[in-house]
Structure 1
């Protein structure tokens, strides 16, 4: 605990943890002050993301970058899952689908691209396990196919077509979750020798004992969940105040804020020349959202939502996911990276962001 307190007191970013109780109190006292709550929730999520990054790195030094990346992706995606579940309960299927597609694109282009850029500015050339990256991008291609399939159902807008789309979505969701589970079995059990990380002399020793790190991860995850509820309740009204469209909010704002914890860990790993951890977080998180979080939301919609949700995304979202997956596959196939690779990936993401801000797609 002494190391944890020392890190909090010595890191100015973690001083923003003071906003965590502030945003919770503000939610109770001023529940209608949406713009204020939105700003406070963002300020609270930033230090929580930094603390989550610090704890995850400590665990990863003991478990290895492959398991560490999976652990960070899982805990980071819990935030996105909570945000999506809150919106799902309110029947905001458009926001849920936009945030899911946006998280996939943000992880494969923004998080991975920024990691390559940040790491490349400090290290001339960085290496990572390309077999692991290839597996994750292959899983993303599988998820993209599943997203495209409901869109080609004839007469999907009719009553019969809608029922068929819903049944198809349930079947596809089960297949995606099964494929994700088998992918974990393949990479962590039967063929784990192919997925070991590259040795990095700068990795250093664990900053926290594993027990303290795991306790910190659990506590921070709970706090992130609480703050995320405030965020999702205020983001739509605050977005209108700032002149942002619903498509831009779901695809860009919610995706970036929901993935803040993972991004902090990925960027930190890249700076320390631990690119296996960064690539594992970015692509592992994207594939987990596509093959587990999105299908799970379809099943949860039957329990907590006012109406079932399907996997039929609007054509623009499917196109962006397909392009981002293709870009990630091409950029990671060599197993080596430099800063300009990150620039190329970030440019693609900025193109998408600018398009959504100026000319949002017609969401179904």
Structure 2
């Protein structure tokens, strides 16, 4: 426990952990103070993300960057999964789909672009294992095609249209989960030598925690992030109206960025340490995991916990943005090398999407 207390004592950013009990208490005492809860939740998520960053780096020192990236992507997506389950229980299918699409786009464009930019500002050229990037990009492309399929048949006048759509969504969910399981077997067992991290010259002089403390910290902090994120999502709609933000912008941009703050902190830190293999594994691994695992699991769970089942039909604007983000990732990660300007280009595409949603929200989103 001493390394953890020392880290909190020496880092002014972690002093903001005081906002965690504050936001939990405020939510209990004044649940209608949406704007206050929104601000407190953001202030609480920031130090939790930093703490999760350090713990994940310590685990990665023992497991390697590939498994470390997978671990962080899984824990980061657990928060989004819990939030989405709560929304499913309330029948908020549009919110669930917006969070799925927004997380895929944010991870593949914003997170990856920021990693390339932050690492490129410190190192002239950075290299990473392009086999891992190609695998995640290919998985993301296949998943995006699967999510495109329900939208492709939406204009057909089919008898029993809802039943046909649900059957298709169920079949696609099974295929996506099978593809995700196969990718884990391929990358972590049968062909794991393809995904060995590059030998970087950057030095990481940070003191890492014992593996036991790191794992316990990961679990506890992930639970706290999930609790605070639920408060954030519950208050963000009303707070957004007070601040003049459109509902589409809130769901697709704000919720996705705040929900992924923990894994983003880890990816940014790794990029600054010239460990771009881990950054790419977190960014693209998280995006592909959401598309291949989180989305179909939520669709299946909706039959048990939701008032009505959810399908995998996204509104056209979301599908277009996911497809563009996926194709862009496939192009920029093909060489296995990066510089700061590549990150600028990815962030530019993300900024275009954000501006579009802020000014012209998609009014035809369907549940």
Normalising by structure 2, what TM-score? 0.97
What pairs up with 1:248-263 in 2 under 5 angstroms? 248-263=249-264
The answer to whether structure 1 residue 330 and structure 2 residue 327 are counterparts is no
Residue 222 of structure 2 aligns with which residue?
221
2:160 aligned counterpart, secondary structure: helix
Cα offsets for 1:226-275 (capped at 9, x unmatched): 11121121111111111112211111011000100010000000000000
Gaps spanning 5+ residues in structure 2: where? none
Q: How does 1:147-166 map to 2 (within 5 A)?
A: 147-153=147-153, 155=155, 160-166=160-166
Higher mean C-alpha displacement, 212-221 vs 2-11: 2-11
Describe how 1:1-364 pairs up with structure 2 within 5 A. Answer: 1-153=1-153, 155=155, 160-201=160-201, 202-204=203-205, 207-361=208-362, 362-364=364-366
Aligned-partner Cα distance in 1 for 2:51–2:209: 12
SS state at 1:200 partner: coil
Matched position secondary structure for 1:150? helix
Q: Is the 8 A contact 1:57 1:206 kept in 2?
A: no
Tell me whether 112-121 or 159-168 shows the greater mean CA deviation: 159-168
Q: Deviations over 1:66-87 (max 9, x none)?
A: 0000000000001111111111
**1:87–1:232: 8 Å Cα contact kept in structure 2?**
no
Q: Distance in 1 between matches of 2:7 and 2:159?
A: 58
Give the CA deviation at 1:158. Answer: 6.6
Q: How far did 1:222 drift?
A: 1.1
Deviation at 1:206, TM superposition (A): 5.5
1:203 Cα deviation from its structure 2 partner: 3.5
2:9 and 2:156 map into 1 onto residues whose CA distance is 56
Pair 1:54–1:48, CA change in 2 (3 A): same
Give, in whole Å, the separation in 2 of the partners of 1:326 and 1:42: 31
- In the superposition, the TM-score normalised over structure 1's length comes to 0.98
CA distance in 1, matches of 2:307, 2:207: 46
Preserved CA contact (<8 Å) 1:61 1:206: no
Give the stretch that moved more between structures: 231-240 or 25-34.
Answer: 231-240
Change (3 A) 1:350 1:56: same
**CA spacing shift, 1:253–1:159, aligned 2, 3 Å:** farther
- Cα distance change of structure 1 residues 334 and 20 upon mapping to structure 2, 3 Å threshold: same
Matched residues in 1 for 2:47 and 2:190: separation?
38
Contact 1:35 1:241 survives alignment (8 Å): yes
User: Distance between the aligned counterparts of 2:336 and 2:4, measured in 1?
Assistant: 34
| C-alpha contact (below 8 Å) 1:108/1:325 kept by paired residues | yes
Q: Do the aligned partners of 1:65 and 1:277 also contact (CA within 8 Å) in 2?
A: yes
Gap change, CA 1:357 and 1:177, over 3 Å in 2:
same
Give distance in 2, aligned partners of 1:208 and 1:129.
Answer: 27
Q: Does structure 2 retain, via aligned residues, the 8 Å contact 1:61–1:203?
A: no
Residues of 1 paired with 2:309 and 2:259: CA distance?
23
Q: Cα deviations across residues 52-110 of structure 1 (Å, max 9, x unaligned)?
A: 00000001011110000000000000111111111111111111101100000000000
Structure 1: gaps (5+ residues): none
Measure the CA separation in 2 of the matches of 1:163 and 1:237: 34
Query: Is the partner of 1:349 in helix, strand or coil?
Result: helix
Q: Return the alpha-carbon distance in structure 2 between the equivalents of residues 272 and 356 of structure 1.
A: 34
Q: Distance in 1 between matches of 2:252 and 2:13?
A: 26
Q: What SS does the corresponding residue of 2:57 show, helix, strand or coil?
A: helix
